[in-house]
């Protein structure tokens, strides 16, 4: 770790502003095809946990849904510091692990399935429409936890990412491509997060 990285890390640690407990990363299928992409992910996980994250969500947008299973299998080999739960476009099972990965699982699709499950329970008489609240939707999402910080590399565009969960998240865009993403880029995201005044929609 260079002097500049050490300087940034010191600034992060000296700031008494709480750090994000849940960090989300948005990358693309193309990013994962770059040489060293999974090694960078492994380092990213370690950086996030080192600076206080308790949960990490990675969303990989894909152009071809058929590529999702191949990309998902690569996560079986990744050197991760905690348990990893991977979900694809056809998965409806809730992900509950310190590291959660969605590959081609669009936010609109996830939200639609949650609403469909609520409607089905109403039709079966298991749920009273008058009692439905936000928690009923959240309980049926694949990734129910709300990120504090969402990092998007390469462009200022989120794609179809966790549209329900990220409504109050702090969004950090960097023009650094994933293949070039370094520890200092992560630290800059944390510093930006600490500089913001979170309002949670208020």
Strand partners, 173: 152
CA–CA separation, 36 and 86 (whole Å): 20
Sheet holding 99-103, edge to edge: 84-87, 99-103, 55-61, 22-28, 149-153, 170-174
- What is the domain partition of the chain in residue ranges? 21-106+144-195
Token readout for 134 is 């936000």
Q: What is the pLDDT along the chain (202 residues), one digit of tens a residue?
A: 689 999 999 999 999 999 999 999 999 999 998 999 999 999 999 999 999 999 999 999 888 888 888 888 888 889 999 999 999 887 778 888 999 999 988 788 888 888 898 889 889 888 888 888 888 888 888 988 899 999 999 876 667 778 888 889 999 999 999 999 999 999 999 999 999 876 655 5
From the options 3.40.50.2000, 3.40.1180.10, 3.20.20.70, 3.20.20.140, give the CATH code of 21-106+144-195. Answer: 3.40.1180.10
Token readout for 184 is 């200092």
The Cα-based distances of 190 to 18, 43, 137, 169, 176 in angstroms read: 10, 16, 30, 13, 15
Strand partners, 110: none
Q: Which of 79, 75, 47 is CA-nearest to residue 87? A: 75
The pLDDT of residue 96: 86
The H-or-E segment that residue 50 falls in is helix 37-50
**Alpha-carbon torsion, ordered 36, 42, 44, 49, to 10 deg:** -170
Q: Are 85 and 95 in contact (CB under 8 A)?
A: yes
Query: pTM for the complete prediction?
Result: 0.90
The pLDDT of residue 158: 67
């Amino acid at each position: 770790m260079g002097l500049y990285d050490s300087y940034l890390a010191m600034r992060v640690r000296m700031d008494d502003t709480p750090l994000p407990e849940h960090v989300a990363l948005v990358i693309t299928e193309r990013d994962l095809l770059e040489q060293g992409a999974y090694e960078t992910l492994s380092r990213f996980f370690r950086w996030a946990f080192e600076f206080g994250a308790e949960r990490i969500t990675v969303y990989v947008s894909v152009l071809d849904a058929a590529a999702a299973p191949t990309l998902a299998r690569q996560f079986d080999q990744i050197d991760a510091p905690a348990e990893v739960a991977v979900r694809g476009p056809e998965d409806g099972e809730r992900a509950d692990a310190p590291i959660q990965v969605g590959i081609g699982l669009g936010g609109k699709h996830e939200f639609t399935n949650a609403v469909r499950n609520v409607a089905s329970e109403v039709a079966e008489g298991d749920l009273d429409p008058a009692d439905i609240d936000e928690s009923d939707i959240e309980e049926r999402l694949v990734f129910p936890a709300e990120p504090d910080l969402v990092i998007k590399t390469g462009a200022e565009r989120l794609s179809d990412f966790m549209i329900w969960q990220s409504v109050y998240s702090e969004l950090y865009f960097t023009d650094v491509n994933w293949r070039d993403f370094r520890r200092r880029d992560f630290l800059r995201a944390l510093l930006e997060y600490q500089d913001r005044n979170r309002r949670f929609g208020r």
